[in-house]
Structure 1
Amino acid sequence: MGLASMPALQSFGLSALTLAIVLGIAVGNTVFPSIAAAAGSGVDFSKSTLLRLGIVLYGFRVTFQEIAGVGVAGLAIDVVVVASVFGLATWIGTRWLKLDRETSMLIGAGSAICGAAAVMATEPVVRGQAHKVSVAVATVVVFGTVGMFVYPWLYPYLGLSEHAYGVYAGSTIHEVAQVVVAGRAIGESAASAAVIEKMLRVMLLAPFLLLLSSRIGAPAGEGEAKSKIVIPWFALLFVAVSGLNSLHLLPAAWKAAIIQIDTVLLAMAMAALGLRTHVGAIKQAGAKPMVLAAILFCVLTVGGYALNVGVARLFGSSM
């Protein structure tokens, strides 16, 4: 978190979560194996229980009033982006690239919704292994960072107002931090619209997880039916916390403290995932995850632009 607060790293959109998993992987493949027997249970607690708690508290970053600010058009754009990108990721990943379903879904969730946070939230539902989560996080970090620099460069050629550009960036760039950087590069109006649109995508995480859980169900075994639905309660609590935050009952100082605690919890979870990730497993995954992420990046950039323009015309919004 100290590194993430440095201006030089902030300019690259590197959040505490990204840095935590990178440092976790570095330690996990050097020092950690010698202390894994003693520290392993704490690491596993961090990447499971603390992860879910962190996702729940993430709701304090979102209000329903902010969501209403982007209107029906903004909601329509985000719903189409989330559904189409995740669907394409699963189909292309498993059918064309012959990736396993868990990796395809994790990359799809990270690209479609909110980067590393979405990957981590999806992991308990798809039951992905640590190295698959790390691979997925790596892909969304790489292409989200690319988008953070490419979008401001494209702005003069897009024919969009600052507000419309912000909605476009918020609906298609991976990480919240990257959205902020891409928006502020154009102006405060663009940054505000980008963050609000991005927070709307974050809000879609809960219904997405519920639908995904209903499709996947519980693992078969010992008298348990495959069709049984596993409810990700932390997703429902995330919505509840967002609703509480929308009432503006907490003092600003309390809310800031809770968000700081949430960042600590999520950073611990990311570091724990990194500690449980072996470089050999990532190498074994090969180039296919990166190819899938690159395809999704192109879909988000080009298809997302066409979608934003089309929806704006449909709803009569000004571009």
Structure 2
Amino acid sequence: MLHLLIITLLAIVIAKQPLFNELGLGSLPLAIVLGMLSGAFFRGLGFASTDSTPSTSSLFCQQKLLRLGIILLGFGLTFQQVAQLGWQALVIDLAIITLVLLIGISVGIHCLGMSRELAVLTSVGSAVCGAAAIMATEPVVKGGHRQVSVAVATVVLFGSLSLLLYPVLFTILHIPSEQYGIFIGSTVHEVAQAVAAGQTIGPEALQTAIMTKLIRVLCLAPVVIALGLLLFRDKQACNESKDRSRKLPVTFPRFIGFFVLAVLVNSLFQLPEAVHGVISLISQFSLTIAMAAMGYNTRWSTLREAGLKPILLAALLFVLLISTGLSLNLLLYA
């Protein structure tokens, strides 16, 4: 447990440094990278077990603290934020989420031959809110920490690439800053990356980028529920019992319900800034240590075995995000 605390604190400190802050590399992707590096280092020296089964403390971080962090994220969102940007931003976000999920899952499974779990995790990371969405979807998908690590790696790669591309596109397209901020928020993977990309354009773009991105984060709960209903209703236990006609009931992730409740409370009541600060700190710590545990338990062989398929799928979704998001923004805000 001590090594996970050290990785977590180190990731939080590094994420606050100007260079990493400008690149939009938040503590979550940094924690999983540091966790992977430290895990490989200690296993190579023989100081850590080579057993693929995570320890009890790692499982606690990956499951319990992860859910706590996602629930607390809800206190940073309000339903009123949806109304401030107008119906266009909501339509753009919903259209992009739906399109990316449909194409990503279909192409991943049927064209690239990926497992259903990995295709869903990779797609949901691009469609909704990066690593946090992947981690929130895992309890329904039950893909395991290996596939989660691969999916998060694609978010880090293409989310970072977007930070180099978006300022260049702004100089070429000559779109008003506020509208370009909506384009950023509706297409960039991580919240931290949306903040970094918006800052490079200007204060107007930063504000609309954050608000649009938060609408996508707010869609996390219905997306997870829909995936559970549509894709993971038939559990593996049905196949093992050879009773294919029996359908097990959908397992509703209770922490998603608490997430929505947190958003509702924050929408109805104005919490003190000090309370928001404490909640944000606990949420960041919980999510970061969950990522650290995920990275620490990841084997490099897992990423090698995954091959180029997740990268190809993420690249396709990256192009889809930019092209669709830009087209919808130009169409609806013409």
TM-score of the superposed pair, with normalisation by structure 2: 0.90
Residue 24 of structure 1 aligns with an amino acid whose one-letter code is G
Residue 310 of structure 2 aligns with an amino acid whose one-letter code is P
Q: How is 1:182-221 mapped onto 2 (pairs within 5 angstroms)?
A: 182-215=197-230, 216-217=232-233, 219-221=235-237
Asked if 1:307 corresponds to 2:295, the answer is: no
Residue 15 of structure 2 aligns with an amino acid whose one-letter code is A
Asked if 1:23 corresponds to 2:34, the answer is: yes
Give a deviation string over 1:59-99, Cα, whole Å, max 9, x none. 12211122211121111111111110011111111111111
The answer to whether the 8 Å contact 2:129/2:190 transfers is yes
Q: How is 1:53-68 mapped onto 2 (pairs within 5 angstroms)?
A: 53-68=68-83
Give a deviation string over 1:229-287, Cα, whole Å, max 9, x none. 11111112111101111234321011111101100000011011111211001101011
The percentage of aligned residue pairs carrying the same residue is 40
Residue 90 of structure 1 is matched in structure 2 by 105
- Among residues 286, 307, 317, which one is paired with 1:265 in the alignment? 286
Q: How is 1:68-217 mapped onto 2 (pairs within 5 angstroms)?
A: 68-215=83-230, 216-217=232-233
Asked if 1:289 corresponds to 2:310, the answer is: yes
SS at match of 2:24: coil
SS at match of 1:2: helix
Equivalent-residue separation in structure 1 for 2:332 and 2:103 (angstroms): 20
Q: How many residues align?
A: 313
Asked if 1:232 corresponds to 2:253, the answer is: yes
The structural deviation recorded for 1:227 is: 4.6
SS at match of 1:14: coil
Residue 279 of structure 2 aligns with an amino acid whose one-letter code is I
Residue 237 of structure 2 aligns with an amino acid whose one-letter code is G
Equivalent-residue separation in structure 2 for 1:88 and 1:39 (angstroms): 33
Structure 1 stretches lacking a partner, 5+ long: 314-319
The answer to whether the 8 Å contact 2:54/2:297 transfers is no
Equivalent-residue separation in structure 2 for 1:84 and 1:241 (angstroms): 28
Residue 113 of structure 2 aligns with an amino acid whose one-letter code is K
Structure 2 stretches lacking a partner, 5+ long: 1-11
Equivalent-residue separation in structure 1 for 2:99 and 2:57 (angstroms): 37
Residue 51 of structure 1 is matched in structure 2 by 66
TM-score of the superposed pair, with normalisation by structure 1: 0.94
RMSD: 1.8
The structural deviation recorded for 1:3 is: 1.0
SS at match of 1:226: coil
Equivalent-residue separation in structure 2 for 1:251 and 1:110 (angstroms): 32
